[in-house]
Amino acid sequence: MTARIIDGKAFAATLRGRVAEGVAAFREETGRAPGLAVVLVGADPASDVYVRWKGKATLAAGMVGTEHRLLAETTQEALLALVAELNADAAVDGILVQLPLPGHIDSAAVIAAIDPDKDVDGFHVVNAGRLAVGADGYVPCTPLGCALLLEDVLGDLSGLDAVVIGRSNIVGKPMAQLLIDRNCTVTIAHSRTRDLAAVVRRADIVVAAVGRPEMIRGDWLKPGATVIDVGINRVEDAAGRRLVGDVAYDEALAVAGAITPVPGGVGPMTIAVLLRNTLVAAHARAG
């Protein structure tokens, strides 16, 4: 058996197309375009690439994208002042502060300073709380993108066994919440989990978000499982420099029912959901 390859790039393009239609309608109704402000502190090369992609996608969707690039030495006070300015700016519907921030800046304090109603990343504690209690709010883009892919592949997820590997606030925890909301039986595994292979083998759905190249092996998987690989790891070996996921892809292909590739799986969905969240924020703010 060879797994179905889940084409996140194509699915994301469809979603972006729908968002672009929504943006055109919003412009028609309100006379303005939704605005997304992206803040990058420092020059981390991976963050720089992500921010450029986000900027391009924002413009392609017909939104107004503004980029705020600050030096790595920027003080926390200066960053908080920029966030306050963006909170107060009527043309800005969504604010995204690219993580990770330099070590001298308290990321939690910066995220806490973002107006929760402009927090299109869904990182603010108010939005985490809204997700936890099932209230409307902004859901982190990567896990929401994963949930949309899973529903596209599997339809109704009710009753399925899901394992989320990784317990970060950005991916693992909200992912588990979204799967619970879709009636999955959810296990969250992490670095202290005993016999991870046995835990993974029970799962109909595996979401890998650990950031360790090819850690999840093909023979850990239940035959036919749906595998969502959130990892984007840069490796250099005999095959040259390349990106690999958290799952040993070639091994998994022979066992899984469906799997996301890296790149071209989850990554494009994150940006598409960011645009969707920004359009939702614009509508909410327009009343």
Question: In the 3-class helix/strand/coil scheme, how is 133-159 assigned residue by residue?
Answer: HCCCCCCCHHHHHHHHHHHHHHCCCCC
Q: Which is nearer to ligand GUN, 141 or 252 (CB)?
A: 141
Using the rule CB under 6 A, which residue among 82, 97, 208, 272 binds ligand GUN? 97
168 marked as binding residue = yes
CB atoms within 10 A of CB 58: 27
Q: Which part of the chain contacts ligand GUN (CB under 6 A), choosing from 28-36, 96-104, 112-120, 195-203?
A: 96-104
- 10 vs 6, 13, 14, 15, 240, CA distance in Å? 9, 5, 6, 9, 27
How many residues bind ligand GUN (CB under 6 A)? The answer is 8
Q: With contact defined as beta carbons under 8 Å apart, do 185 and 160 qualify?
A: yes
End-to-end CA distance of the chain: 51
Phi, psi for residue 249 in degrees, rounded to 5: -60, -50
Question: Catalytic residue among 98, 115, 119, 229, which?
Answer: 98
Task: Using DSSP, state whether 103 is helix, strand or coil.
Answer: coil
Q: Tell me if 98 contacts ligand GUN by CB under 6 A.
A: yes
Q: Which residues contact 221 (CB under 8 A, 6 or more apart)?
A: 200, 201, 203, 206, 227, 252, 255, 256
Q: One symbol per residue from 257 to 276: x for binding ligand GUN (CB under 6 A), - otherwise; what is it? A: -------------x------
The alpha-carbon radius of gyration of the chain (Å, integer) is 19
> How many CA atoms are closer than 13 Å to the CA of 82, on its beta-carbon side?
20
Q: Which is nearer to ligand GUN, 210 or 255 (CB)?
A: 210
Q: Tell me if 83 contacts ligand GUN by CB under 6 A.
A: no
Q: Can you name the residues that pair with 216 across neighbouring β-strands?
A: 247
Using the rule CB under 6 A, which residue among 57, 141, 157, 176 binds ligand GUN? 141
Q: Which is nearer to ligand GUN, 58 or 270 (CB)?
A: 270
| CB of residue 263 to ligand GUN, shortest distance in Å | 14
54 counts as catalytic? yes
Q: Which part of the chain contacts ligand GUN (CB under 6 A), choosing from 93-101, 155-163, 185-193, 218-226?
A: 93-101
Q: Which part of the chain contacts ligand GUN (CB under 6 A), choosing from 59-67, 92-100, 189-197, 240-248?
A: 92-100
Q: One symbol per residue from 13 to 52: x for binding ligand GUN (CB under 6 A), - otherwise; what is it? A: ----------------------------------------
Q: Which is nearer to ligand GUN, 270 or 278 (CB)?
A: 270
Q: How far is the C-alpha of 207 from the C-alpha of 163, rounded, in Å?
A: 6
Which residues of this protein are in contact with ligand GUN, per CB under 6 A? 96-99, 121, 141-142, 270
Which residues sit in the known binding site for NADP(+)? 166-168, 232
